[in-house]
Chain A
């Protein structure tokens, strides 16, 4: 697994539940390291160990943790935040949703070994969509759902999200856009980093 994902998981747990909680997760997961570097690659099993340990130590369901992780990675405020990078994908939430399938390509343009989930969007008309997510990580749909929720907030859209659970071909998240412009979008300026 790319260190960026493991590192995000680490920062999410540390920022949300505190440094002591992260230390407890490290001990429980028997990681053999104190933390992840975002630019290195780690064995996939380590990610699973951390998620399992976090669920146990923090007494949270895997689903909740992963959805919160998805929201966290968007909402982190730093100059080259993921929120900003994602906003380049579309001028409004619908536009953004339509560009979701490009996400793995967008990731690979910058980090060639970054394996993001394979995404497939179906437009059912009337603002109803479904997004099929395929990745080796069980529960990836919950991360995507958290990310969509945060991005909808960012664009000021009112959306209803639902995770239909795994089926043969991945996990399906349904999206209903109730109001594309429910609240004003957070400012986004193409050329000004940090805006």
Chain B
């Protein structure tokens, strides 16, 4: 046995392997003369799977940083520093972190490798097990952490999605009239604010049922509620999908018709609505008869259109319809004259 310099000690290959299963033993000329079991397993798994022993370090690995590492003399200069290496010839570049130290007898170096941050992928693609890492290595803890963290994130995402669903349902509920399923006054304000802000032209109809109080008085509130639901259905079927139909009071409704500013078309829609609402409604053997009075205004008559002002004008036109005998629609006129629909 050769005599070792003071302060040095011998370690056999098996002991070294237990502590550093990814080491490479290098001869003074840069030939690989031994390697750890995990590194050997890794190379076995590569498609080109060839024996590492006897090959030149610099032919086998690309030493990327520090730059200019091309010989054992260069490696010796950087002994003890952090190295970045990639295995040549691997299908997907397999990156390592490395640390090389000189052997005490001057006969070569030991280069230890680790996967660095790529460890999770490396373990997956090479089927490494607990036994492939030194007992002191924290790789398995890192894998645990990645997996536990993924689980926790999934749970959080699930919670976030459920909360979002509940929030949307609550919002929809806050904008819906519970009796008829139509939009409510709050929803109407939002739509009006959006349309006036975006300067999109629209028509606005204010509808008030005629003789509704009589239905309530003679047949009771259940009949009244039934009539309101039928009215809601009729209003929705006489309007387009993107129109807003809102119930804004006991028997008052507002319809917003985006893009509709021609009096002719608005008039036709109003007539159809009145026609539909005049049809008798059956409820538990009784026949309920109502009608509707409508006031209409158009955003293009205002500069700028203001939601409050428009609703007030539509309301005035509505009362003009009521005064003129009900069951009809009138437009708010810019110069104060009202055209009868």
Contacts and interface: CB of A to CB of B under 8 A. Distances in A.
Given A39-B159, A89-B144, A111-B152, 6 more contacts: A37-B162, A84-B147, A85-B148, A85-B151, A190-B140, A193-B150
Interface string B137-178: 000110111011111101110010010000000000000000
B128 interface: yes
Residue among A88, A106, A193 facing the most chain B CB atoms (10 A cut-off): A88
Interface string B4-16: 0000000000000
Interface string B69-99: 0000000000000000000000000000000
A37 B158 CA distance: 10
B49 interface: no
B contact residues, range: 20 to 34
Contacts of B101: none
Nearest to A110: B148
A191 B123 contact: yes
Interface of B: 120, 123-125, 127-131, 140-141, 143-145, 147-152, 154-156, 159, 162
Contact of A80 (B140, B141, B147): B147
A45 interface: no
A158 B113 CA distance: 39
A40 B159 CA distance: 9
A91 B130 contact: yes
B144 A88 contact: yes
Given A88-B141, A190-B143, A192-B124, A39 B156 contact: yes
Contacts, number: 57
Contact of B147 (A38, A39, A88): A88
Residue among B120, B124, B143, B151 facing the most chain A CB atoms (10 A cut-off): B151
Interface string A180-195: 0000000001111100
A190 B123 CA distance: 7
A39 B124 CA distance: 29
B124 A191 contact: yes
B164 to A, nearest CB: 14
A39 B147 CA distance: 17
B91 to A, nearest CB: 18
A171 to B, nearest CB: 26
A20 interface: no
A33 interface: no
Nearest to A37: B159
A contact residues, range: 20 to 34
21 contacts: A38-B155, A39-B152, A40-B159, A80-B147, A80-B148, A80-B154, A85-B147, A88-B147, A110-B145, A110-B149, A111-B152, A190-B129, A190-B130, A190-B140, A191-B120, A191-B123, A191-B124, A191-B127, A191-B143, A192-B124, A193-B147
Given A88-B140, A110-B148, A191 B154 contact: no
B145 A109 contact: yes
Residue among B123, B129, B130 facing the most chain A CB atoms (10 A cut-off): B130
Interface in A98-114: 106, 109-111
Contacts of A191: 120, 123-125, 127-128, 143
A11 to B, nearest CB: 12
Nearest to B151: A80
Nearest to A7: B155
A40 B130 CA distance: 34
A40 B149 CA distance: 16
Q: Closest 9 A-B residue pairs measured CB to CB?
A: A80-B151, A191-B124, A88-B144, A191-B123, A110-B148, A39-B159, A91-B130, A110-B152, A38-B155
B150 A80 contact: yes
Contacts of A111: 152
Contacts of B125: 191
Nearest to B156: A39
B131 A91 contact: yes
B131 A106 contact: no
A189 B143 contact: no
Contacts of B140: 88, 190
Interface in A25-65: 37-40
Interface string A141-161: 000000000000000000000
